[in-house]
């Protein structure tokens, strides 16, 4: 049966469980200058931080632990935002600040346009139950309740009538592939299955944002990979917004649309895997990617340079000789012939134009120059560079010349990967 979780929430429940309303791609969760300092004198620690003192020094001098330090970020509706960092870098604290399981020392958390700081305990409880469901590493299931009851429980505390909550729970259970396990106790399930129940329980309330703290870390690799695929499917089919904490770079790359890297309580860089790989803010970020085969993340779109003066705007019927001087003057080894809309027609060299003489430019086109699209990766580019001596023209979706990737750049990138 094909249905989405939005449909899975029974009509009566919809009024109580407001479904995610933010438009895809808009900011749904915004964090501004958020800090958490544990210890006796957070104000003093904050003042020392402002003066530029490091986290360890602050700890030594004041006994305060700066767990999260002035973090600002925005999560967009429908994305999986991964927070990565070494142990102790503040990931769990940050995610608990998002739903105020931990009170911030300073800063703001704005969910769907509403600041959660001034909310009453009651309102906050509502937010946690309905808007920001959390999936924990330890599953946190009720041991004496069946799988179905565990899922329904979250809806029960949200005040959903019994018939409705069991209907929703059953549908969500099917959704995570455990339709026939509703009567089992958590202890009768494998770790992976228990985590699916944890996921189903969070999804049942149709939250605006799903918070997942190392949710797959306790699972063995095969099950873990399955769960990652499951999550990607949910995100794709239902535009789920997910904040996912991980310290595994492979996992972060696989599921993260964007990744935020935390170090000593600070968020030091946010970007897509490709952005972080190409322009890491420092060695800490670079080190995360050191043992990863990143060729597949390096795309032609980020390696190209403009054709510049090598661009020859003319028709294929114009005489080759009319373009020869232009190309020689440009100093380029190749010219890229494009029509007046920018559509790529082919590649020429001074030699091929010279040879064609007064014949049409069409006669001067090189037969063996392969082009790629913007999303070609380094592996594909390297394979082409092995076979052709000319740089590689890159075309956009409508066949226009977006730029050129030089063989030299391809070689450089391949060499850099080898060294790392
Ligand atoms: N309740 C607390 N009281 C005092 N210090 C705390 C508390 N909770 C966390 N910390 C400290 O804050 C820092 C960040 O901890 P946090 O649990 O957020 O890190 P993490 O990035 O999630 O680490 P891990 O990858 O090991 O889960 C750590 O140095 C930790 O000791
Ligand atoms: Mg943690």
Taking a C-beta distance cutoff of 8 angstroms, is the pair 339, 365 a contact? no
Rounded to whole angstroms, the Cα distance separating 213 from 82 reads: 10
Taking a C-beta distance cutoff of 8 angstroms, is the pair 117, 151 a contact? no
Rounded to whole angstroms, the Cα distance separating 311 from 326 reads: 10
Rounded to whole angstroms, the Cα distance separating 49 from 7 reads: 48
Task: Report CA(39)–ligand 2 centroid distance (Å).
Answer: 18
| Average pLDDT over every residue of 122-126 | 88
- Which of 62, 90, 96, 211 to mutate to test ligand 1, by most ligand atoms within 8 A of the CB atom? 90
pLDDT at 269 over 50: yes
Tens-digit pLDDT profile for residues 216-256: 887 788 888 888 998 898 888 888 899 999 988 889 999 98
**C-alpha closest to that of 381 among 364, 366, 365, 393:** 393
Instruction: Output the residue whose Cα is nearest ligand 1's atom 18.
Output: 90
In the chain, % of residues over pLDDT 90: 65
Atom of ligand 1 nearest to the CA of 94: 18
Instruction: Output the residue whose Cα is nearest ligand 1's atom 24.
Output: 87
Tens-digit pLDDT profile for residues 171-219: 989 888 889 999 999 999 988 889 889 988 988 888 989 999 998 887 7
- Closest ligand to C-alpha of residue 102 is 1
Task: Report CA(57)–ligand 1 centroid distance (Å).
Answer: 17
Instruction: Output the residue whose Cα is nearest ligand 1's atom 16.
Output: 90
Taking a C-beta distance cutoff of 8 angstroms, is the pair 266, 70 a contact? yes
Rounded to whole angstroms, the Cα distance separating 160 from 316 reads: 70
pLDDT category at 155 given cuts 50, 70, 90 is confident
Report the b/e string of 148-181 with b at 16+ CB within 10 A.
bbbbbbbbeebebeeebbbbbbbbbbbbbebeeb
* Ligand 1 interacting residues, C-beta cut-off 6 A: 38, 65, 67, 85, 87-93, 247
Rounded to whole angstroms, the Cα distance separating 187 from 133 reads: 23
pLDDT at 290 over 50: yes
Is the CATH number of domain 301-419 3.10.580.10?
yes
Instruction: Output the residue whose Cα is nearest ligand 1's atom 10.
Output: 67
Domain ranges of the chain: 5-27+76-98+117-292, 301-419
Task: Report CA(386)–ligand 2 centroid distance (Å).
Answer: 45
Rounded to whole angstroms, the Cα distance separating 181 from 238 reads: 24
pLDDT score for 40: 92
pLDDT score for 21: 55
Protein fold of 5-27+76-98+117-292: Rossmann fold (3.40.50)
């Amino acid at each position: 049966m094909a249905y989405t979780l939005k449909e899975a929430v029974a009509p009566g429940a919809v009024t109580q469980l407001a479904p995610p309303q933010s438009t895809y791609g808009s900011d749904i969760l915004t964090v501004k200058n958020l800090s958490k300092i544990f210890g006796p004198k957070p104000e003093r620690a904050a003042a020392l931080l402002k003066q530029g003192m490091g986290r360890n020094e602050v700890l030594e001098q004041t006994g305060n632990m700066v767990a999260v330090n002035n973090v600002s970020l925005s999560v967009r509706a429908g994305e999986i935002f991964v927070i990565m960092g070494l142990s102790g870098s503040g990931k769990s604290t940050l995610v608990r600040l998002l739903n105020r399981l931990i009170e911030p020392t300073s800063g703001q958390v704005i969910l769907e346009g509403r600041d959660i700081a001034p909310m009453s305990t009651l309102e906050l409880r509502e937010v946690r139950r309905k808007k920001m469901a959390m999936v924990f590493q330890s599953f946190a299931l009720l041991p004496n309740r069946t799988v179905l009851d565990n899922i329904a429980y979250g809806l029960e505390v949200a005040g959903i009538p019994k018939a409705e909550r069991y209907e929703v729970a059953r549908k969500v259970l099917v959704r995570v592939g455990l339709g026939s396990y509703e009567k089992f106790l958590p202890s009768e399930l494998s770790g992976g299955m228990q985590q699916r129940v944890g996921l189903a329980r969070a999804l049942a309330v149709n939250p605006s944002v799903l918070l997942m703290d190392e949710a797959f870390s306790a699972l063995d690799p095969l099950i873990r990979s399955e769960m990652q695929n499951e999550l990607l499917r949910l995100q794709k089919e239902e535009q789920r917004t997910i904040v996912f904490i991980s310290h595994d770079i492979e996992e972060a790359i696989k599921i993260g649309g964007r990744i935020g890297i935390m170090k000593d309580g600070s968020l030091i860089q946010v970007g897509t895997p490709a952005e972080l790989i190409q322009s890491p803010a420092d060695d800490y970020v670079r080190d995360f990617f050191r043992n990863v085969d990143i060729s597949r993340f390096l795309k032609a779109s980020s390696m190209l340079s403009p054709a510049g003066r090598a661009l020859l705007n003319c028709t294929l019927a114009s005489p080759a000789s009319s373009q020869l001087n232009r190309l020689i003057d440009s100093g380029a080894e190749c010219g890229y012939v494009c029509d007046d809309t920018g559509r790529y027609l082919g590649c020429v060299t001074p030699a091929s134009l010279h040879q064609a003489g007064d014949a049409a430019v069409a006669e001067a086109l090189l037969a063996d120059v392969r082009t790629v699209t913007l999303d070609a990766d380094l592996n594909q580019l390297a394979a082409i560079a092995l076979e052709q001596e000319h740089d590689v023209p890159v075309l956009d979706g409508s066949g226009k010349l977006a730029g050129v990737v030089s063989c030299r750049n391809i070689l450089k990138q391949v060499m850099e990967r080898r060294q790392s």
